[in-house]
A and B are shown apart, each in its own frame.
Chain A
């Protein structure tokens, strides 16, 4: 009896020794660099540099990596999500919208939330989810059937579930919400289904809408005049990815999707604001401070589905607040993020649709590059010079890293046919992937990890692949880049030179952005491949 009591007392002490996990406050996310062992928001920090201060694993010892554990999802759909890591617990999403909480040391599961889809949900390119947000002790997820689901981070129990958008109209929620102060910022996907895109701020307590910014402005709103007729009603403008935030300027930045229909611009004459743009908003009110449109009147599906990378550094002799952006349209931009002023732009892949950019950053289009009935071959191809996968920036090297695709597509113009909830694209391009077409000479293409100099726009080095990469890039203070490829390789490169330090065949398409964190005080790297997440650490 005494032994039993002693055991119970010991067990209670043991439980007390387990970290209880402090609440995740806005201040913790704001100061994420103070706790580099965690990953508290989609890009880890609000500047979205996708760079970690952790350096236990570095270019000297990265060859000693060993597999620590693997998480095999129940779903066979590939991961595109970035997990959160909070005080020793990993929160991941199995496609489409099941959430799991895992022990960061062992990979064993604490709990699982299974989301039951109500009816159909049309998504452009797979039933994907790209991640979660956490505030307090609550996790937040947008679902492909249009709900905001709030879960208890300790048990996975539903706190509330609220319908935000209507999936029967082609709307879906795929990106990780962004926690800003006392709000969640969220936008809708569905640009290939004729939605009218928007960003909303929601109350984390109940999902109530606090403000709305229309990506496609309606009558009376500035920018509405850039849409002919009633094309604005189904003008697209998805939000596919989580935005960034500058607390000093109190501005949040979001990339917006393509206008609809994608490949026939005749029915939506004008610049089609605010598609293919970055919008800078006051997060308290949703007020637009400035915008910069990368591709006015897009006819190639070059949405600005990239993460705004915020960097403070010297620019022409002065310290400036910059934004760096390698865009799907093939140009690498540097903007002043206080004003939206265009500072520099240069193509980082072959570009044949524009002669270049004018002094304001507006593309000088080549009219013959527009899609035609017969087809027009244009670079970049329809997946773009890059796409949704996170780029990275390292202050140590001063370089911007991007996963680039170098190839072309034939763009056809067809008749756009709008029916509610269905695809609304206006024909299609030929050559969605490189090296798959019969006309082999013209379909040669490949992917590469490219390091760009922000001050010149020039490429400093590249790691060329035979295939292509659609994996985000993680930079660390260990002077390494961790990324992957559709071929199934996890890749580690030297961030100064691009030298390939490690390549491991994980067997499935690597799509999600790698993350790094600590487990039991040791640095870990998580790379997803297919529907599994592989976690590596140094050999013990």
Chain B
């Protein structure tokens, strides 16, 4: 009888703990979310986190923190634990800050995705979409599975990029071209011309997607000519879209955001 009682107590105690392997209790909310907390968290972030995650959370060696998607749990408590403990098996260390500082960091990390373009711009989203199609943007950019593939997929671009970045990318696309969007032009030893968007490259080979949507892998030893163009293949729209049409286009882009766990945009 006493044994059964002990088993019951143990079961009750276990039930009170977060299940192992599951995310921590998401009813625990960050108690430090004021503007000054976010600012304090930002100072800690720049000192400790930005080396890997980028000064705006854009990611590099570490994960992109601007998407609002957190692979190791998205609740405040999950993010707290990830920062506090680190991620075993990766270069992400845990840190030794006190509880308040940890929460301030959580607040700042949250602000990196909340401060993105989505929901921050005034404009007619529907008209923006019409302009997007009329200007032929969908010839190269894909949204929700429709469109070309020679430019970046934009289905989640509103979550990933700041307003300023979106505006600059439309007006002056050469300002920010990521390596996976550079263009490749090559001629094989047999004289065949190949061009497309560079998806990957190493010392001995290059992988790309061509205008017809074929995935192409080339060995450099088979190439007579090989050139990587770090400029964007996209035309600059500076002076090409006037007044409210430009704001509407940006509003449309800013509205593009994947919902967590789905492939649908909001």
Contact = CB atoms under 8 A, between A and B. Distances in A.
**Is this pair of chains taken from one and the same complex?**
yes
Interface of A: 75-77, 120-123, 125-127, 168, 414-417, 419-423, 425-430, 432-433, 435-436, 438, 440-441, 444, 464-467, 485, 487-489, 503
Interface in B85-107: 85-86, 88-91, 93-97, 101
Interface of B: 43-44, 46-48, 50-52, 55, 60-61, 85-86, 88-91, 93-97, 101, 175-179, 182, 201-204, 230
A424 to B, nearest CB: 8
Given A428-B51, A430-B55, A436-B60, A120 B179 contact: no
Given A120-B86, A414-B46, A126 B178 contact: no
Given A417-B44, A425-B47, 7 more contacts: A120-B96, A415-B47, A419-B96, A428-B50, A438-B176, A444-B230, A465-B203
B contact face: mostly helix, strand, loop, or mixed? loop
A466 B96 contact: no
B95 A466 contact: no
Nearest to A421: B96
B174 to A, nearest CB: 9
5 contacts: A122-B93, A419-B96, A432-B61, A438-B175, A440-B179
A423 B97 CA distance: 10
Nearest to A434: B179
A168 B96 contact: yes
List the 4 closest pairs (A to B, CB-CB), nearest first.
A421-B96, A487-B202, A440-B230, A126-B91
B95 A487 contact: no
B95 A122 contact: yes
A419 B97 contact: yes
A471 to B, nearest CB: 13
Contacts of B182: 440
Residue among B46, B178, B182, B202 with most chain A CB within 10 A: B202
A contact face: mostly helix, strand, loop, or mixed? loop
A485 B96 contact: no
Nearest to A128: B91
Contacts of A433: 60-61
Residue among A415, A435, A440 with most chain B CB within 10 A: A440
A440 B177 contact: yes
A489 B48 contact: no
Given A422-B97, A432-B60, A435-B179, A503 B47 contact: no
Contacts of B86: 120
B51 A432 contact: yes
Contacts of B91: 125-127
B106 to A, nearest CB: 16
B74 to A, nearest CB: 23
A441 B231 CA distance: 9
Contacts of B179: 435-436, 440
B55 to A, nearest CB: 7
A187 to B, nearest CB: 20
Contacts of A423: 47-48, 95
B202 A467 contact: yes
Contacts of A414: 46-47
